[in-house]
Structure 1
Amino acid sequence: MPALLTNYYNLSELQVGLTYLAIGVGVALGGFLNGKFLDINYRRTAGEVGFTINKISGDDMRSFPIDEARTRFANVLILLDFFILVSYGWACATKAPIEVLLVLQFLLGFLQTCIVQTFNTLLVDVFAANASTASAAGNVTRCALSAGGVAIVQPLIDSLRYGYVFTIIGAMTGISGLGAAILIRLKGMKWRRQRQI
């Protein structure tokens, strides 16, 4: 963002810093609202399978399709993220008005927070006995992949330009994300049961 906004839009350092507010608000709002949606999905799935939620001693995840409850709308989030990410790349490539970039950054912050939070919550649910370890492992993996991505994205942008790079990144994350979400929904409970044997 700094290179793009400085070189293409001639923004000062202060103005570049202020543009991060859009994605920051998206992240905060995504985290808050997605938490509510995850709770609703949990209750809805419990109702559909006739599962009684035990708020006092906690729920037994061995017989509850937590994988389906948590990933109910994951495919929608991943597809939206793909389209917004590709749109952002092409908006950068065509030097769209700065307002367009800020709206897309807000949406990316919102959607990507929802996706990360959804799967982190599922990790904690599945590995409840080692919740902090599971959460830490997820965060370390995500941060390591992010660091690698940051290291290669600028050379890619320099050679392929924004639109193509963001299309490639969007396709890679979209295909792998959809594949993982579908696999979790189809095989998650079976894998959990095998692990408990």
Structure 2
Amino acid sequence: MRIWIVLLVSMSALISPFGATTFLPAMNVLREVLDISASQVNVAVTTYMIAQAFAPAFMGALSDSSGRRLAFIICFIIFFVANIGLALQTNYIALLLLRILQAMGGTAGIALSYAVVADVSTSAERGVYMGYAGAGILAGPAFGPTIGGILAQYLGWRSTFWFLVIYAGVLLVLFVFFFPETCRNIVGNGSIPPSGLNRSVISCIQARKNRLQRPSDVERIKPPKRKFTLPNPLVTFRICLEKESGIILLYNGLFFTAMMTTVYGIPYIYGKTYNLSELHLGLCFIANGVGSMASSLTMGHIVDWNFRRHAKLAGMPIIKGQQQDLTNFNIERVRLEIVLPSHVIGTIGLLIFGWTVHYGTHIAFPEIGLVVIGFGISGAYNITNNLLIDLHRDVPAATTAAVNFARCLLSAGGAAAIIPMVNAMGVGWTFTFMAAVSLLLFGVAVWIMKFGMAWRLEKAERGSREMEEKERGKGP
């Protein structure tokens, strides 16, 4: 069952990057059709990223309070409707407004997917499952443009949005019929039966069969009544303002921005140097996806191995299916020991890509750079996401919404800046600047590894003192 759940959320994770990137190869065609500039088309990318920075704060809080199923279904419906509108729109304002709506629906691929993985796995085994779920999010920016390039070349730019309509419809059916509720606030460790919209169609059919076959047994197992609580999106922003989490989010968001800025800059950068068709341009994104998927599917095993190694050294038992007490366990060091080599690899990839394009080498060389970028940066991104969930296991959706808030705002800035930077500095020096920023971020990662546990214990002690003061204030 757990593999099936992770497979479904990995599929759902694709809708966010697909929504952002499938139309990238058609940007030049779209510019001509709508009679707008390259910078205006780029605003459609930036608008999507900004909208997607804020939407998960609400959807993540909704899923933590009312269940993952409800939030997924709402997101898929919004995404489905938005893409119908985008396929039919004929002017620039409609494009921007519908991109905002599309981004709101794409929340399902971000805040909710990682939250489901946190529901069904423990800290000791989460690396592998986070890698599987992350494969969708990280492969999307590569394979989305590839699919978009093929569709735009042979069926026109509108077909890229009709493809997303079909994909959202398939996901909606799969989740309505087959996806079980996983939120621990709703079903606990799986022992509490869900009710209402938290039940899949298949589980309802199965329950009906059980009632007919064993009515006396079913009567004894009734779902408890739950009080409805309004989602609180402020939880996401409180996580952003915490000392340790805020620093990790800054590191995570800025380093991931380097990869997304590269991806969003490919149509313009390759267009100037290699003069590719929409189809061939779309195929060029595969390299980054290969690197990202390779990282997601392999680094998770290394992350879990390192956790087991440190747990053994600390004398902490690992019991399958049981969460570990991380209070006095240096989880920051455990995770970031694997991040640091990934960080170095990603930084080298930025330099390879920038200077091979700068000197107009054969396109195979910058493509190698994209593979290296994908492997290194994706690895660091997935592992720091894992660390943040370790620090906030009670609100995993709000935590991944915080990750998304930082990532999307910073990536929006990167997407808006890449063309002016390349025009002003040249491709080589633009990516050298990005590598220099990456070098500074390496120092931030070391800083977190050294002081993160102390910050966490300090926060826990402060929380305990505040709780004691509140209890004393209530009196006898």
TM-score, length-scaled by structure 1: 0.94
Give per-residue Cα distances to partners, 1:20-65, cap 9 Å, x unaligned.
1111121111111121111111111112222222323210010211
Letter in 2 for 1:188: G
Equivalent positions of 1:101-116 (< 5 A) are: 101-116=366-381
Moved more, 67-76 or 162-171: 67-76
Which of 434, 449, 454 pairs up with 1:190? 454
Which residue of 1 is the match for residue 91 of structure 2? none
Equivalent positions of 1:136-147 (< 5 A) are: 136-147=401-412
Equivalent positions of 1:151-162 (< 5 A) are: 151-162=416-427
Q: Please tell me whether the aligned partners of residues 354 and 366 of structure 2 are also in contact (alpha carbons under 8 angstroms).
A: no
Q: Is residue 74 from structure 1 mapped to residue 334 from structure 2 by the alignment?
A: no
Structure 1, unmatched stretches of 5+, are: none
User: What percentage of aligned pairs have identical amino acids?
Assistant: 30
Q: Please tell me whether the aligned partners of residues 345 and 375 of structure 2 are also in contact (alpha carbons under 8 angstroms).
A: no
**Per the alignment, in what secondary structure is the counterpart of residue 71 of structure 1?**
helix
1:113 positional shift = 0.8
Which residue of 2 is the match for residue 39 of structure 1? 304
Which of 266, 275, 296 pairs up with 1:10? 275
Cα distance in 1, alignment partners of residues 352 and 367 from structure 2? 12
Letter in 1 for 2:419: Q
Cα distance in 2, alignment partners of residues 112 and 43 from structure 1? 24
**Per the alignment, in what secondary structure is the counterpart of residue 73 of structure 1?**
helix
Cα distance in 2, alignment partners of residues 49 and 30 from structure 1? 28
Q: Please tell me whether the aligned partners of residues 332 and 448 of structure 2 are also in contact (alpha carbons under 8 angstroms).
A: yes
Structure 2, unmatched stretches of 5+, are: 1-265, 462-476
Which residue of 2 is the match for residue 126 of structure 1? 391
Letter in 2 for 1:191: W
Q: Is residue 181 from structure 1 mapped to residue 445 from structure 2 by the alignment?
A: yes
Cα distance in 2, alignment partners of residues 88 and 11 from structure 1? 17
Letter in 2 for 1:53: I
- Number of equivalent positions: 196
Cα distance in 1, alignment partners of residues 365 and 337 from structure 2? 30
Moved more, 144-153 or 178-187: 178-187
Q: Please tell me whether the aligned partners of residues 287 and 367 of structure 2 are also in contact (alpha carbons under 8 angstroms).
A: yes
Cα distance in 2, alignment partners of residues 57 and 73 from structure 1? 24
Cα distance in 1, alignment partners of residues 297 and 389 from structure 2? 18
Letter in 1 for 2:313: E
**Per the alignment, in what secondary structure is the counterpart of residue 337 of structure 2?**
coil
Q: Please tell me whether the aligned partners of residues 342 and 375 of structure 2 are also in contact (alpha carbons under 8 angstroms).
A: no
Cα distance in 2, alignment partners of residues 142 and 88 from structure 1? 22
Question: Which has more radius of gyration?
Answer: 2
Letter in 1 for 2:447: L
Letter in 2 for 1:73: I
Cα distance in 1, alignment partners of residues 377 and 405 from structure 2? 17
Which of 53, 61, 64 pairs up with 2:326? 61
Cα distance in 1, alignment partners of residues 274 and 417 from structure 2? 23
1:4 positional shift = 2.1
1:141 positional shift = 0.5
RMSD: 1.2
1:147 positional shift = 0.8
TM-score, length-scaled by structure 2: 0.40
Cα distance in 2, alignment partners of residues 185 and 20 from structure 1? 33
Give per-residue Cα distances to partners, 1:55-92, cap 9 Å, x unaligned.
23210010211111111122222122112211211111
Cα distance in 2, alignment partners of residues 8 and 189 from structure 1? 47
**Per the alignment, in what secondary structure is the counterpart of residue 129 of structure 1?**
coil
Q: Is residue 91 from structure 1 mapped to residue 356 from structure 2 by the alignment?
A: yes
Specify which structure has the bigger relative contact order, considering alpha-carbon pairs within 8 angstroms and separated by 6 or more residues. Answer: 1
Cα distance in 1, alignment partners of residues 321 and 384 from structure 2? 24
1:195 positional shift = 1.4
Cα distance in 2, alignment partners of residues 76 and 9 from structure 1? 32
**Per the alignment, in what secondary structure is the counterpart of residue 190 of structure 1?**
helix
1:146 positional shift = 0.7
Letter in 2 for 1:69: V
